[in-house]
């Protein structure tokens, strides 16, 4: 039986929350020195990207303000080109874009979760 979209949305929200916990006391210098934190945040970004890939196209078309494809593409970079991952870009995503995504997904979740 396929999973409901609400479960994938919840996976995204859970992963964002976990990432925020991992980096809450860090600045960029701390982050780039912590291989464990880098690995853990990257793993959760993979989960976010995979959950987004599993959402139905109808939902993505309904909420075009969310950069679904960009997030999925970043997941592919993280998985397939991990050796080229730029920590400054990663940190920028964690510090600035993740909170925006969290708010967007919370809104979708509140409207779509059934």
Q: What is the pLDDT of residues 61-100, one digit of tens each?
A: 999 999 998 898 887 677 656 667 789 989 999 999 999 9
Whole-number pLDDT of residue 1: 44
Residue 78 CB: number of other CB atoms within 10 A?
19
Whole-number pLDDT of residue 2: 60
75 is catalytic: yes
Gap between the Cα atoms of 65 and 40, Å rounded: 27
The single-letter DSSP state of residue 83 is G
Gap between the Cα atoms of 74 and 70, Å rounded: 6
Closest CA to 101 of 41, 13, 10, 33: 13
Catalytic residue among 3, 35, 43, 75: 75
Gap between the Cα atoms of 57 and 70, Å rounded: 15
């Amino acid at each position: 039986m396929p999973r409901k979209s609400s479960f994938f949305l919840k996976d995204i929200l859970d992963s964002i929350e976990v990432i925020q916990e991992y980096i809450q006391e860090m600045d960029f210098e701390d982050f780039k020195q912590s291989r464990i934190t880098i690995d853990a945040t990257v793993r959760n970004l993979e989960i976010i990207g995979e959950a987004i890939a599993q959402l139905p196209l109808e939902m993505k078309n309904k909420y075009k303000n969310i950069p679904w494809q960009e997030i999925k593409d970043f997941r592919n970079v993280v998985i397939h080109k991990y050796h080229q991952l730029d920590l400054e870009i990663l940190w920028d995503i964690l510090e600035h874009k993740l909170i925006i995504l969290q708010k967007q997904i919370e809104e979708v979740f509140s409207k779509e979760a059934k």
